[in-house]
Amino acid sequence: MQKTPLGESKLSSSRLAYGCWRLAPASEVRTNLETARTAVLAAVEAGFTLFDHADVYCHTRAESAFGEVLRENPKLRKKLLVATKCGIRQAEEPPGAPHRYDFSAEHIIRSCENSLRRLHCEEIDLFQLHRPDWLMDADEVAIAFASLHKSGKVREFGVSNFSPAQVGMIQRTLLKKLEQPLVSNQVEISLAKLDAFTDATLDQCQTLNLTPLAWSPLAGGLLGDGGKASPPGEKAGRLAGVIAALDAMAAERNVTRAALALAWLLKHPAKIIPIIGSTNPDRIRAAAAADKIELSREDWYRLLHAARGEPLP
């Protein structure tokens, strides 16, 4: 698979990333390890090098299962980029607390150290803030990031689900306090979710040279092979139109619907990296084929028209 840089850093990633949020769905350790081992090794063989985590994925089990795979295959670590996220706190953590977000320096540092232990890593390549904390203090975030970077626990930093204004606030503070810019913003982007194209997120990514990491690039599987539009309504109608357009174009090119939908994202000049979440080895390999599909501008806009449900003005 071809490579692409992560922001302005020295890190280079495969054009598609593997998302680990479904890696350990069961409470049984052996079952999770079998699932993780099969999926991770299939992704590595297909050319994926960036593996995306968060401490809340499968209630920390995803990181732990992945860490066991790395411990079984120690040579893998040097070939991969390990990314994880922090900042979401579950209800009852601690007892009596509501579900909320936490970007306090103490929580960021503690979360990173816990993730390192679960992942069996000495360093996280990309550490991201998961969802904006309404009490976010950019100066405090910078203090935590500086500590983690200086101690060698994190190489690069990013954010997830941040608005352009929030990215700008954090970026200005980090450049002032840490002299190290963000390298990524992980947001939902797909033919069924076009907000990033219209709310200045992708414009800002190009301006600041941030890498957009696209979560749910297949709309939770609806745009994947076999996905269907439901329930009825305007949104389902547009989705059905997108699926029909993808199926027609995929048949013409003899490629899968999923690979085509991912190639549509890869075409954008912001250098979007779609994050694939399937644990099925066949689907992982099929998704990797998107790297070899080159869409014309005309075909790209045909799919955009279908996604909008109407032509451009």
Active-site residue (options: 18, 57, 101, 301) = 57
Written in H, E and C, the secondary structure of the chain is: CCEEECCCCCCEEECCEEECCCCCCCCCHHHHHHHHHHHHHHHHHCCCCEEECCCCHHHHHHHHHHHHHHHHCHHHHHHCEEEEEECEECCCCCCCCCCEECCCHHHHHHHHHHHHHHHCCCCEEEEEECCCCCCCCHHHHHHHHHHHHHCCCEEEEEEECCCHHHHHHHHHHHHHHCCCCCCEEEEECECCECHHHHCCHHHHHHHHCCEEEEECCCHHHCCCCCCCCCCCCHHHHHHHHHHHHHHHHHHHHCCCHHHHHHHHHHCCCCCCEEEECCCCHHHHHHHHHHHHCCCCHHHHHHHHHHHHCCCCC
Query: Quick check: is 18 catalytic?
Result: no
Q: Provide the annotated active-site residues.
A: 57
